[in-house]
A and B are shown apart, each in its own frame.
Chain A
Amino acid sequence: MWALLWKDVLLEIRTKERVSSLFVLALLIVLIFVVALGPEQVQGPEIGAAVLWITLVFSGMLGLQRAFLIEQERGCFSGLLLCPIEPGTLFLAKLVGNILFLMLVESVAAPVTLVLLKLPWSWSLLALPLVLFLGIVGFSALGTLFAALTVRTRAREILLPVMLLPLLIPLLIAAVHVTSAMLAGMVWTGVWLRVLLAFDVIFVVTGWLIFPQVVQE
């Protein structure tokens, strides 16, 4: 698994395409929000949380597909399947890679978004990375699974969002609620954190179990 992760990180360092394009895209989405709604409207914790998560979901979706597109170019995915690695491990390696890259993007994009939306500082923001992390884990778990499937189909650009977005709604509702509470200065929002956590656990395990059933053609 570490070999796989090392390879993905090395490729990313070499090309820098994933992190940089995701970052630019994330900022662009924020910009479009501000332009479309007007800077006066895009304010306050609720809108802030919404913008943060919409940005993450839509830019993240591209990153998910990149993770498998790099395996497609010279048939490398077949090479991976040939290796004496459990397919479940393959899933976990890709998942950890996606989480890593998304966290990296958000570590810059999230503070920039908060500044652009003029959200006030509060100590509860220190818990924001944790919420982002929980959300990203759930997003990546389902996303990695479905990106692996759609990358080998026709119409993959349409199919990934169409399949992924409805399933992500519970995660999104929970994440936005926790985040907006946090931006408003509160920290503990127990029920929603539990929903987030449940989503993460259920779909990481599901992905790990189901992935071996679908990787082979």
Chain B
Amino acid sequence: MSWVIEAENLTKTFAWVPVLNQVSCQIAAGEVVGVFGPNGAGKTTFLRVLATLLRPSTGKLTLFGASPQEAHVRRRLGFLGHESFLYPDLTPIENLTFYGRAYTVPDMQTRIATVLRQVGLQQWGNTVVRTFSRGMEQRLALARVLLHEPDLLLLDEPYTGLDAQGVAILQSALAHMKAQGKTIILTTHDFAFGLELCTRALIVDRGRIAWESDGHVPSVQEFIARYHSTILHSAFRIPHS
């Protein structure tokens, strides 16, 4: 089996305090991994380290069997974070043209039109992003991520700020990518949305992977019970049975 992500003892410290503590995991192509956990557990840090946005303090990260510093590895990576990474003074088309050039997307005009239609912003293509609402900007950010058709998609709380229509767009885009065999990792507080999609669930707490599903993804009810007991156990550092 070829691993898309191989993480060995990843530690990331902020102001010399570990936020991510000796995390190891391997994720295969085609997996959809839901990362759950309370605020401040290290979910975002985990994702940003995987996205090569943060340099791990210690430990080793391998993406697609290569060093994450290599440009061709980053070419296959998509990351959607809290911030949209869009220039407010440019229009969606200009923003996407810029990212399209940076990623050397072939047949760019058509591709931009496609993703804009996919997120339902086709009639807003020439309006400056600064005038957009939070939800519209998030949708455009999704378009930015889909633009270069990444093989590994990292999503940090993708549902925040989206209205019902936006959630539907996101869900269908993710389902589509899952069907294509792309690897997806997402963090969310919404158990129902997350569990519906994923093939593996992780609970992160206090900078460690506190629990990991084996084989099958539990139902929401089952998961909530598991979630609370895990957090409780990890708070008192009781080794898990």
Min CB–CB distance A208 → chain B (angstroms): 16
Q: Is the CB of B89 within 8 A of A81?
A: no
The reply to whether B74 and A84 form a contact with Cβ atoms under 8 Å apart is yes
A75 and B84 contact, CB distance less than 8 A = yes
In the docked arrangement, what's the CA distance between A157 and B53, Å? 25
Which of the residues A10, A74, A83, A86 comes within 8 Å of B94, measured between beta carbons? A10
In the complex, A42 Cα to B120 Cα: how many Å? 62
Q: Is the CB of B55 within 8 A of A75?
A: no
B101 CB, min distance to chain A CBs, angstroms: 4
Number of interface residues of A (CB under 8 A): 25
Task: Give the dominant DSSP class at A's interface.
Answer: helix
Contact (Cβ within 8 A) B99 A79: yes
Asked if A15 is an interface residue, CB under 8 A from chain B, the answer is: yes
Shortest B185–chain A CB gap in Å is 15
Residues of A within 8 A of B71 (CB): 84-86
With A10-B94, A84-B74 as known contacts, state yes or no: A76 contacts B55, CB within 8 Å. no
Q: Kindly identify which residue among A7, A11, A75, A80 contacts B83, using a CB–CB cutoff of 8 Å.
A: A75
Chain B interface size, under 10 / 10 to 19 / 20 to 34 / 35 or more: 20 to 34
- What residues of B have a CB within 8 angstroms of the CB of A86 in the complex? 71
- Chain B hits for A4, CB < 8 A: 102
The answer for the CA separation of A7 and B99 in the assembled complex, in Å, is 10
B23 sits at the interface (CB 8 A): no
A155 is an interface residue with CB less than 8 A from chain B: no
Confirm or deny: A6 has a beta carbon within 8 angstroms of a beta carbon on chain B: yes
Query: Chain A residues with Cβ under 8 A from B144's Cβ?
Result: 79
A85 cross-chain contacts in B, Cβ below 8 A = 71, 102
Contact at A217–B54, with CB atoms within 8 Å? yes
- Taking CB atoms, residues of chain B closer than 8 Å to A15 are 89
Chain B residues, CB < 8 A from A74: 83-88, 137
Say yes or no for A154: interface residue by CB 8 A criterion. no
B90 at the interface (CB under 8 A from A): yes
What are 14 A-B pairs with beta-carbon distances under 8 A? A7-B87, A11-B87, A11-B90, A14-B90, A14-B128, A74-B83, A74-B86, A74-B87, A75-B81, A75-B85, A76-B86, A83-B103, A84-B103, A216-B53
A interface residues (Cβ-Cβ under 8 A, vs B): 2-4, 6-7, 10-11, 14-15, 70, 73-76, 78-86, 216-217
Interface contacts beyond A7-B87, A81-B53: sample of 13 additional A-B pairs, CB < 8 Å, sorted by A = A14-B128, A70-B87, A70-B89, A74-B85, A76-B85, A76-B87, A78-B83, A79-B99, A82-B52, A82-B85, A83-B74, A83-B99, A86-B71
Residue ranges of B at the interface with A (Cβ–Cβ < 8 Å)? 51-55, 71-72, 74-75, 77, 79, 81-90, 94, 98-99, 101-104, 128, 137, 144
